[in-house]
Each structure stands twice: as structure tokens, then as C-alpha cells.
């Protein structure tokens, strides 16, 4: 082969490899969304969301718990923004989204459809989903309905079986002094949840099993815009007194459908119960399980750095496979 022909062939190969490599980079990166807050029309009002971060990995959406709470306590996960864009939003009816007392909208089906409406509005083809507490139910039901849009699932303090969750919460309640246990029983019997002794029981339970380091939470970040009616309608008066529409909810039958990378995290003293969450993880092929020591239900407050690190490493591993 002549020298000129060899040079030409080498040039073609070089162009090919550059083009291929460049395509590979583009295919692994995601178009950036405008950073900042926004609202999208949902039902007869607006649903608030916020986009953070400049990373080009697969974006992650954060689904808060409740029902009726807001997403602010999930803010620590915005530290993932160096790797990917982070989207958090307040479910319709609470937080910064339009408030409503329409019980027809107090359903998991509506929560799932709201999440899909958000994805469509942002123009995201596929995203990672991180759900916390009630958000894990929404995440699982969303995957069941729209699996083609899910790159991975993170179940933080999974509450996928409400009867089992409530039973575990009752076991934790039994670690409180008898006087406080009796106050809870009396309140459930009479409906008087304003009794000072009952309020003391709730505070003690919270300190042990909901958030052990409340000082790490910004002032009323959990309850800003809290929709009490939604919580009572779907959940009931408390974590251990479940009387609402979710009383018999058990979504564990959907776990066998999961075919994407999946991570389960739980606090050592979590109301979700490490033993319950480990049982969920065992039902998902090749899933990862991680227990966060000395943390309660709000693990991102009790052990922020560890929680963010575990999630970051998992999501980076997902990026490497896409």
C-alpha cells in the first residue's frame, strides 16, 4: 500500500474513533435543565419543584414522605448536584404546592400521575428515583406504571407494607414508659389527641425513632405547609395509629417486577424497621441494602454525610452502566 493510501486510511480510522468516542460521551450525558424553582399546572392548581446541580449524569428525582408534608428535609441530597441534576418537588396539596382539602385527590394514584406529569414537563426521558417513607410507595407504584422511564430505584426507609410498618411502630411504642403507652391508648380510644401526656408520648417517640438529631433540621422544615387533613385521611392520627385509607396497603407484590439497579437504606432505629426493609431488599434480585447506624427515620438529618455518600456511590455505579 502506498504511503498516501496508508495516511488516508489512518485518517479515516482517527475520524471514526473520535466520532465514536464523542458519541459515547454524549450518550452518557444528559441535557441540563434550567436551575431554579418552578411550577407546573396540576389538577386545579400548581405543583412546585426545584432543579439543583450542574452534573451531567442521569438526573434523580426526590419523593418526600407524609402524606401531606414537603420536600425540604430532603435538601441534603442536593449535594449530589456535582454528579447530576437533582429534582425535588412538593406533592400537590402540601408544602409550596397548591393546598387542597379535596379528598378525591388524596390518593396514591394521583401522586403517581403527578410525578409523571413532572417528568413530561421537564422533558426527562429517564431518571433515577429516590423515595423516602411514603415516597417509597409512590416510587414503586410509579415504576409499576412507567418502568421505561426509570434508570434506578432508591428506597429510603421503605414503607411498602403499611400493616407491617404499623405493627413495627407499635413494637417501638412499647419501649416507652407505661404511662406514655397508656396515654396513647387513651387518646386512640377517646379521640383526644391534644392531651398533654399524649403529646409527651409523641415527642418521646419522635426523639427515639423519627429523628434523633432534630437540631440538624432547619426550623419546621418537616411541617411547613403540612396538610393535616391529608395525613389524617390517608394515614391516621400517628405512625402507630393507622386508621386512614392506606390501612391495608401492601405493595410488596410489585417488588418482583423490578429489573433496574435498586438500593434500600434504613436507619438503625427507624420506624420502618431494618428487619422489614431487609426483607423487601431480599425480594429484589441483585438489590443493595445499607443500614445507617444510630439513625432514625429521617436518616438524612441524623447521618447526612453517610447517607449522601451511600446514595452518591450507588448512582455513580448506575451511570457507569448506562
Give residue limits of the domains in the chain.
1-30, 33-320
Which residues have C-beta within 8 Å of that of residue 247, sequence separation ≥ 6? 162, 163, 166, 236
Active site annotation includes 179: no
Band (pLDDT 50/70/90 cuts) for residue 18 is: very low
Q: What percent of the chain has pLDDT over 70?
A: 89
Active site annotation includes 43: no
Q: What's the confidence (pLDDT) of residue 248?
A: 97
Q: What's the confidence (pLDDT) of residue 29?
A: 61
Active site annotation includes 31: no
- Which CATH superfamily does the domain covering 33-320 fall into? Alpha/Beta hydrolase fold, catalytic domain (3.40.50.1820)
Among the options 43, 64, 132, 297, which is catalytic? 297
Q: What's the confidence (pLDDT) of residue 27?
A: 40
Q: What's the confidence (pLDDT) of residue 182?
A: 96
Q: What's the confidence (pLDDT) of residue 225?
A: 83
Q: Which residue has the higher pLDDT, 155 or 189?
A: 155
Q: What is the distance between the alpha carbons of residues 284 and 305, in angstroms, rounded to a whole number? A: 26
Instruction: List, for residues 106-146, the tens digit of each pLDDT value.
Output: 999 999 999 999 999 999 999 999 999 999 999 999 999 99
Cell of 249: 396497603
Among the options 90, 161, 251, 270, which is catalytic? 270
What distance lies between CA 274 and its chain's CA centroid? 17
The mean pLDDT value for 237-247 works out to 90
What distance lies between CA 9 and its chain's CA centroid? 53
Cβ neighbour number for residue 77 with a 10 Å cutoff: 25
Its pTM stands at: 0.90
Residue 223 has pLDDT above 90, yes or no: no
Among the options 133, 157, 238, 287, which is catalytic? 133
Band (pLDDT 50/70/90 cuts) for residue 238 is: confident
Cβ neighbour number for residue 278 with a 10 Å cutoff: 13
**Cβ proximity of 33 and 57 under 8 Å:** no
Burial class of residue 127, CB neighbours in 10 A (0-12, 13-18, 19+)? buried
Cell of 299: 436518616
Least confident residue range of 110-119, 193-202, 274-283: 193-202
Q: Which residue has the higher pLDDT, 151 or 239?
A: 151
Amino acid at each position: 500500500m502506498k504511503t498516501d493510501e496508508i495516511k488516508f486510511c489512518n485518517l479515516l480510522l482517527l475520524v471514526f474513533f473520535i466520532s465514536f468516542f464523542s458519541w459515547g460521551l454524549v450518550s452518557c450525558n444528559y441535557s441540563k435543565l434550567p436551575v431554579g424553582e418552578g411550577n407546573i399546572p396540576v389538577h386545579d392548581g400548581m405543583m412546585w419543584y426545584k432543579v439543583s446541580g450542574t452534573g451531567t449524569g442521569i438526573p434523580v428525582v426526590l419523593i418526600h414522605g407524609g402524606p401531606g408534608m414537603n420536600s425540604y428535609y430532603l435538601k441534603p441530597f442536593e449535594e449530589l448536584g456535582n454528579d447530576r441534576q437533582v429534582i425535588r418537588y412538593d406533592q400537590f396539596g402540601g408544602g409550596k404546592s397548591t393546598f387542597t382539602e379535596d379528598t378525591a385527590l388524596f390518593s396514591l394514584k394521583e401522586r403517581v400521575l403527578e410525578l409523571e406529569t413532572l417528568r413530561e414537563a421537564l422533558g426527562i426521558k429517564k431518571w433515577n428515583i429516590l423515595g423516602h417513607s411514603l415516597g417509597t410507595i409512590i416510587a414503586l407504584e410509579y415504576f409499576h406504571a412507567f418502568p421505561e422511564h426509570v434508570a434506578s430505584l432508591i428506597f429510603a426507609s421503605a414503607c411498602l407494607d403499611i400493616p407491617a410498618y404499623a405493627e413495627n411502630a407499635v413494637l417501638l411504642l412499647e419501649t416507652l414508659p407505661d404511662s406514655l403507652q397508656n396515654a396513647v391508648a387513651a387518646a386512640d380510644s377517646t379521640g383526644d389527641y391534644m392531651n398533654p401526656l399524649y403529646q409527651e408520648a409523641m415527642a418521646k417517640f419522635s426523639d427515639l425513632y423519627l429523628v434523633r438529631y432534630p437540631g440538624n433540621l432547619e426550623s419546621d422544615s418537616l411541617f411547613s405547609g403540612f396538610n393535616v387533613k391529608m395525613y389524617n385521611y390517608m394515614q391516621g392520627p400517628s405512625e402507630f395509629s393507622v386508621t386512614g385509607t392506606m390501612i391495608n396497603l401492601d405493595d410488596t407484590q410489585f417488588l418482583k417486577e423490578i429489573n433496574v439497579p435498586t438500593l434500600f437504606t434504613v436507619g438503625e432505629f427507624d420506624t420502618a424497621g431494618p428487619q422489614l426493609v431487609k426483607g423487601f431488599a431480599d425480594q429484589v434480585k441483585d438489590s443493595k441494602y445499607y443500614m445507617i447506624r444510630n439513625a432514625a427515620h429521617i436518616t438524612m438529618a441524623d447521618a447526612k454525610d453517610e447517607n449522601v455518600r451511600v446514595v452518591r456511590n450507588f448512582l455513580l455505579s448506575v451511570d457507569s452502566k448506562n
